[in-house]
Amino acid sequence: MSTFLNLLVYGLADGAILALAALGFVLIYKATGVINFAQGEFLLVGAYMFYTAFVVLRLPLVLAVVFGVVVATLLGVVIERLILRPMVGESAISIIMVTIGLSMLLQALVQMFYGTSPKSQPALLPRQSVSFLGATVPLNRLLVIGIAAVVLTAFTVFFRWSRHGIAMRAVADDQQAAMTMGISVRRIFAMAWALAAVSALVAGVLLGDISAVDRNLASFGLLVFPVVILGGLDSVPGTIVGGLTMGLLSQYVSGYLDPGLATVIPYVVLVLILLVRPYGIFGETRIERV
């Protein structure tokens, strides 16, 4: 039972971070129709930016977070402007490849500036563990779940009720109609990338804190695909359900069966979902049939 609970907490923590990473992915896909293969690199860059502010520049925590958010926003906007905007209207293959190129470039830049060895960063979240229903679970994982829940709620509220959020949903729904209502589609595109970078920053910092700030953070990016396919490519609640499911699934497979198997199980699930219900649980059934 205690193993079960332990894995539950670990799985939920992983899942919460995955949901944050997937949220950025879904934002971009929903608003701009771009599949972003560089989402993992956004996590990586976010974690390193925070590291730079917090450890290298010795800024206080709050300022470091602000610094990270500002850099992530700029990064998102610049990438959208310089790389994705010229690609509007190109084929899916080209757009996928441009984000793959972007991911290689970002990863190489991080490696150039920070090297390959893991960076040590003082713990942001308390490292001690708490007893909970007979199991000892690490406190920081619980906090990760809490923080991710807060951020995800904030994003949901933003989409639901804020002016910009509603504009974003309008663009996602129908670009031309949104344009006739006076919404600047370009600004919305830029905002989608900026918000995706910010949510990836939060995910990256949290992941960096519970594991380590190193290059492996980017490998989390590919796990976004099983999550979003399960939840639905264009669904924000889908990312939460998908993220938690994938996090729990990986942790339970890794805990009870085989840690190696846990790395591939999400992809097996992905293939099964694509065969049965390609638009996922909450996705819009807009898939083209041939």
Partner 1 sequence: MRTVAATATGIHHRSYTSELRLRATRSEYFRLALLAVVLLVVPFALGNYWLSIVNTIFIAVIGAVGLNILVGYTGQISLGQGGFLAVGAYSSAILSDRIGVPVPLSILFAVALTAVVGTFFGLPGLRLKGLYLAIATLASQQIIEFIIRRDYGGVLTQGKGYINVDRLEFLGFKIGARAVFEQQWYWILMPLAVLVVLAARNIFRTGLGRSFMAVRDQDIAAEAIGVNLTRAKLTAFAVSSGFVGLAGALTAHYSEVVTWEKFTLEVSILYLAMIIVGGLGSVAGAVYGAVFMTLLPVLIRNVANAVEGSVPFLADQLPAIQNAAFGAIIIAFLIFEPRGLDRIWQRMKDYIRFWPFRY
Q: For binding to partner 1 (CB under 8 A), which residues are involved?
A: 35, 83, 86-87, 90-94, 96-98, 100-109, 111-112, 222, 225-226, 229, 233, 260, 263-264, 267-268, 270-271, 274-275, 278, 287-290
Q: Which is nearer to partner 1, 73 or 107 (CB)?
A: 107
Shortest Cβ 226–partner 1 spacing (Å): 8
**Residue 18 has which token pair?**
């995955």
Residue 259 amino acid letter: P
Rounded to whole angstroms, the Cα distance separating 211 from 173 reads 38
Cα angle vertex 141, ends 137, 146, to 5°? 120
Shortest Cβ 147–partner 1 spacing (Å): 29
- Count of helices and strands (H, E) across the chain: 12, 2
Shortest Cβ 272–partner 1 spacing (Å): 10
**Residue 7 has which token pair?**
């894995």
Shortest Cβ 260–partner 1 spacing (Å): 6
Main-chain phi, psi angles of 107, to 5 degrees? -65, -40
Token pair 């490998």 is found at: 219
Main-chain phi, psi angles of 137, to 5 degrees? -120, 145
Instruction: Quickly list DSSP for 140-158.
Output: HHHHHHHHHHHHHHHHHHH
Shortest Cβ 87–partner 1 spacing (Å): 7
